[in-house]
Structure 1
């Protein structure tokens, strides 16, 4: 495995207004053909609408299959690689997180799923396809007055629509839970995503949310099926796995980057949560990841 010391990060160099778009189809070369099977992370969001075709991905060690009429959103920082792609009709859209206003950013950070994958009804897929086509017409028209402002507003509206579609599915699965319990769980999820390196104990999260540890733990467990410690550890170990698989950082350097003062404790916790030691996990990755 040819690693370079840290995970490659694809950045938004020279993109107009913090946006990159491209259609894909039979007449186009695939926009996703670059560095296929090379693990990397982005510092931006990217969205894929597959109206017809399929893409096989690995996202943070989870296998993801995008089939006909599927919408997918990747968060900044997630590690992914494209395993295969046969694309006939759809869109690729990437955008800078700074485009999103705070309420929309909060909505995305509070999603309970780590992978935003939304199956669409035919009419929904047609609606999204049409919407993105309109965004693209603005994106490719330098004569459009107020092009940058219009483009950024349209992308924001599109992401709101995507979030609405995802949340409709999420709420269906959470319908038996009280609204207040869902709100608490989502706020906790957002804190974990944003502060998992600096906040480690359930009591620290509870203090941030102005509630007792027992109330936070009981609420999160009732909604997700897991205690708060599970979510905290999963977020930490997800980043640890990224660094073990796709970097040459030493175990001590990884422990330091995750806020562990004691590398031995990090090793014990990783072994307990993941089921194998960090060293074993890294060796398994060297056998299975080809870049």
Structure 2
């Protein structure tokens, strides 16, 4: 069974209140790009948002308050003059953000297709990769320029939608470069070859976690020895490949426990763990409760 992956349309239908049909907020062409005031959007969301994947990139910039989001297997908090980026394909969730003011933007690679290819876009802006750093702290004057650009993009979008797309694109590309100027890689102090191997490992995890559970399998796919992979991943991330595999498995399981009524045994089977008792022990090790107890928490029992 697949994990729920939402595009903007299906997300709007499931998690937004009917008021968002008002085209003063979301224009007819919102499928590839839209920008809104974050405080207005969150007022119309049916919170909390359970773990899921998005086909679009999500960009949040906070000017007052804070936002806490679970992205992948980690929790990130951003405050005033900080950005949060959820790359397309990444798993995320959040509950009730304490945001007073800011901006929220959804966009697909397609929106910038005549400016960048999808591959070039991710190469130019590391934060648009699932292995990038999703939290960016903007110092001055970058924060000022970023807010000005967001305000200009919002004014253009509110008035014209994407009717003046080249102008909106130009402002948006400038915005991405401003964020990039303040961006700090999670692996900034590590040699490039090690970082490259780590990033390829993370990408393989995302697409193969239900069928590949052993470090040796990932090492073979990456044409390195298990020992070398273990040393590199641990030096770059501070966590062993085994822990990355376990945490990614648990993330898949939690999404299935949220999104389906499959039994615990069936959830284990869906993620490729045939020993249900091992699955329960693994779940308790990382979550501090059994899968069944976790589901009861979700259901408020």
Change (3 A) 1:265 1:82: closer
For these two proteins, the number of residue pairs brought into alignment is: 271
| Structure 1 residue 237: Cα displacement | 0.6
Question: Runs of 5+ in structure 2 lacking a partner?
Answer: 10-27, 113-117
Change (3 A) 1:151 1:196: farther
SS in 2 for 1:122: coil
C-alpha distance in structure 1 between counterparts of 2:240 and 2:152, whole Å: 44
In the alignment, is the contact (CA less than 8 A) between 2:66 and 2:80 conserved in 1? no
After superposition, give the CA deviation of every residue in 1:210-267 in whole Å (9 maximum; x if it has no partner). 1111111111112222211111111111221233245433213322332334444433
SS in 2 for 1:135: helix
Is structure 2 residue 129 aligned with structure 1 residue 109?
A: yes
Change (3 A) 1:104 1:251: farther
Partner of 1:3: none
Change (3 A) 1:207 1:63: closer
In the alignment, is the contact (CA less than 8 A) between 1:58 and 1:83 conserved in 2? no
| Structure 1 residue 33: Cα displacement | 0.9
Report 1:1-291 matches (<5 A). Answer: 11-13=7-9, 15-16=29-30, 18-23=32-37, 30-40=40-50, 41=52, 43=54, 44-51=56-63, 53-59=64-70, 64-75=76-87, 76=89, 78-88=91-101, 90-99=102-111, 101-105=118-122, 107=126, 108-109=128-129, 111=131, 113=133, 116-140=134-158, 142=160, 147-148=164-165, 151=168, 155=172, 158-159=175-176, 161-163=178-180, 165-166=182-183, 168=184, 170-171=186-187, 174-175=188-189, 177-245=190-258, 247-287=260-300
Question: Runs of 5+ in structure 1 lacking a partner?
Answer: 1-5
Report the TM-score, using the length of structure 2 for normalisation: 0.73
Change (3 A) 1:8 1:206: closer
In the alignment, is the contact (CA less than 8 A) between 1:221 and 1:227 conserved in 2? yes
| Structure 1 residue 47: Cα displacement | 1.1
Report the TM-score, using the length of structure 1 for normalisation: 0.76
C-alpha distance in structure 2 between counterparts of 1:55 and 1:87, whole Å: 8
